[in-house]
Chains A and B, each alone.
Chain A
Amino acid sequence: DAGVIQSPRHEVTEMGQEVTLRCKPISGHNSLFWYRQTMMRGLELLIYFNNNVPIDDSGMPEDRFSAKMPNASFSTLKIQPSEPRDSAVYFCASSSTGGGQPQHFGDGTRLSIL
């Protein structure tokens, strides 16, 4: 079974540039989560979707961040314009619906903003 697939695995870009991170959840999973991980802040939930609908985006740090889920098999997290403090590892996770389900994480995107 293919797990959660994220791309790119690594991204290095200059500040001010637009960054787009991509995620394909596990087939059949109806919930999708975007996390950011840094040494200082640990694992932060940015936004999550149920059945392609954003449920809670209170973790999105600022208006420069946006996320979409146009269909059940694809989601994007966009940062525009990017800043050095956005440097982190961004994980996507998916789970089945119904309360109390495990989340399965992708391999993450390591983002460096110069």
Chain B
Amino acid sequence: GENVEQHPSTLSVQEGDSAVIKCTYSDSASNYFPWYKQELGKRPQLIIDIRSNVGEKKDQRIAVTLNKTAKHFSLHITETQPEDSAVYFCAASFSGPTNKLIFGTGTLLAVQP
């Protein structure tokens, strides 16, 4: 069945360092890959997304890369800041006309000042 694996489950970095979170999906027909950031006690918020016809997308300090052949996609955060500390979720679209997303299990990112 459909599945998204996310690693690592926790990540601690020093302020200013880069952080990378990786996801693998199982459905080769998935064509949309959003990333969500969830701060403590808040709702998941979309921070960046990528479609299968694009290999990389960048928005200021965050970037996402997609390898369709390997069914991998990754989130890269550069020059991390304490306010980047949160849980990050990757997701992959479920094949077909629905808008169902399959979410990864989340990565708790801690940026140490």
| In the complex, residue of chain A having the shortest beta-carbon distance to the beta carbon of B51 | A100
Residues of A contacting B34 with CB < 8 Å? 102-103
Are B44 and A99 interface neighbours, CB within 8 A? no
User: Which residues in chain B, 61-109, are within 8 Å of chain A measured between CB atoms?
Assistant: 89, 93, 95-101, 103, 105-106
CB distance from A26 to the nearest CB of B (A): 13
**How far apart are the CA atoms of A45 and B98 in the complex, in Å?**
14
| In the complex, residue of chain B having the shortest beta-carbon distance to the beta carbon of A95 | B99
A-B contact count (CB 8 A): 60
Are B105 and A99 interface neighbours, CB within 8 A? no
Are A103 and B101 interface neighbours, CB within 8 A? yes
Q: Which of A56, A91, A96, A106 contacts B100 (CB 8 A)?
A: A56
User: Which residues in chain A, 73-100, are within 8 Å of chain B measured between CB atoms?
Assistant: 91, 95-100
Contacts A43-B106, A99-B31 given; does A48 touch B44 at CB 8 Å: no
Residues of A contacting B106 with CB < 8 Å? 42-43
Contacts A42-B105, A102-B34, A102-B49 given; does A97 touch B43 at CB 8 Å: no
Interface flags for A23-45 (1: CB within 8 Å of B; 0: not) read: 00000000101000000001101
Residues of B contacting A56 with CB < 8 Å? 98, 100
Are A91 and B32 interface neighbours, CB within 8 A? no
CB distance from B38 to the nearest CB of A (A): 9
Q: Which of A45, A95, A97, A105 contacts B44 (CB 8 A)?
A: A105
Q: Could you show 12 A-B contacts with beta carbons less than 8 Å apart?
A: A42-B106, A48-B100, A55-B98, A55-B100, A99-B96, A99-B99, A100-B31, A100-B93, A101-B99, A102-B49, A103-B101, A106-B43
Q: Which residues of B contact A (CB under 8 A)?
A: 31-32, 34, 36, 42-46, 49, 51, 89, 93, 95-101, 103, 105-106
A101-B99, A105-B43, A106-B43 provided; 15 other pairs, C-beta below 8 A?
A: A43-B103, A45-B100, A48-B100, A50-B98, A50-B99, A55-B98, A96-B99, A99-B31, A99-B93, A99-B99, A100-B31, A102-B49, A103-B34, A107-B43, A108-B43
Q: Which residues of A contact B (CB under 8 A)?
A: 31, 33, 42-43, 45, 48, 50, 55-56, 91, 95-108
